Amino acid sequence: MNDIDAPLVLIVDDDEAMRSSMAFLFSSVGLEAKVHASAAELLAELPPDESVRPGVLVLDVRMPEMSGLELQRRLVNSQFPLPIIFVTGHGDVPIAVETLKVGAFDFIEKPFKEQYLLDSVAAAIQLSRTNLALYAQRRSVEEKLSRLGRREVEVMNGVLAGKPNKVIAHELDLSIKSIEVYRASVMSKMQASSLVELARLVDALAYSNTR
């Protein structure tokens, strides 16, 4: 397995003993773990999206300066692709519900059963692989779309709406020949061999942006 495919467990907890304990637990089953004492420390060391490895973020709730819930919201807003598991000694029902509503994968109270945490982390890592594949697909489609000019986008939208060339030409005040040229250019830049494939690419982008 390449290093970029090897899963990584990110741990954020202001309790040094807990950080060390969890890192040792994960290493005992062959998982690499990287520890952080604060949310700010994690944010300062996060790699670019395209360099994120499969994995999971194991996060405490109550920490100085920025709480775990605040960090979760910031990461979700920035479309951070890794699942988040909260492991906390300060759990209560309202906090648990809030973290899950924001999108947490799991909420585990200390003291916890080690095997339960390991099982939850394993499941989250599997989800992260799916998430990262979707993000890679989205970036690829976005990059292709960025190559299109304004007219090409207008023609593509008309084509995807099922409109004949003559209708698109009338709406855009262009000749049918121009529509055919733009249409061919769209297919080339999007690297789509058919209208079905073009629709699939655009639909995949829309779907991944809703996740």
Structural domain boundaries enclosing 86: 8-137
> Of the residues 102, 137, 172, which one is the last residue of a structural domain?
137
Residue 120 shares a structural domain with residue 21? yes
Residue 89: what pLDDT?
Answer: 81
Residue 19 shares a structural domain with residue 115? yes
Per the domain annotation, does 1 fall within a domain?
A: no
Residue 132 shares a structural domain with residue 55? yes
Residue 159 CA to residue 187 CA, distance in Å, equals: 11
Q: What is the CATH number of the domain that holds 185?
A: 1.10.10.10
Confidence of residue 191 (pLDDT cuts 50, 70, 90): very high
Q: What is the pLDDT of residues 81-117, one digit of tens each?
A: 899 999 988 767 788 888 889 999 999 988 889 999 9
Percent of the chain with pLDDT over 70: 92
Q: What is the CATH number of the domain that holds 38?
A: 3.40.50.2300
Q: Phi, psi (5° rounding) for residue 70?
A: -65, -40
Residue 209: what pLDDT?
Answer: 55
Per the domain annotation, does 142 fall within a domain?
A: no
pTM of the predicted structure, to 2 decimals = 0.73
Contact 152, 189 (CB under 8 A): yes
Residue 167 shares a structural domain with residue 116? no
Residue 170 CA to residue 139 CA, distance in Å, equals: 33
164 prior amide bond cis, ω within 30: no
Confidence of residue 202 (pLDDT cuts 50, 70, 90): confident
The secondary structure of the chain in percent helix, strand, coil, rounded to multiples of 5, reads 55, 10, 30
Residue 115 shares a structural domain with residue 87? yes
Residue 173 shares a structural domain with residue 99? no
Residue 104 shares a structural domain with residue 172? no
Confidence of residue 71 (pLDDT cuts 50, 70, 90): very high
Q: What is the pLDDT of residues 24-62, one digit of tens each?
A: 999 999 999 999 999 999 999 887 765 688 999 999 998
Domain count, the chain: 2
Per the domain annotation, does 31 fall within a domain?
A: yes
Residue 57 shares a structural domain with residue 127? yes
Residue 68 shares a structural domain with residue 125? yes
Beta pairing class for 8-12 and 84-88 = unpaired
> Of the residues 137, 163, 186, which one is the last residue of a structural domain?
137
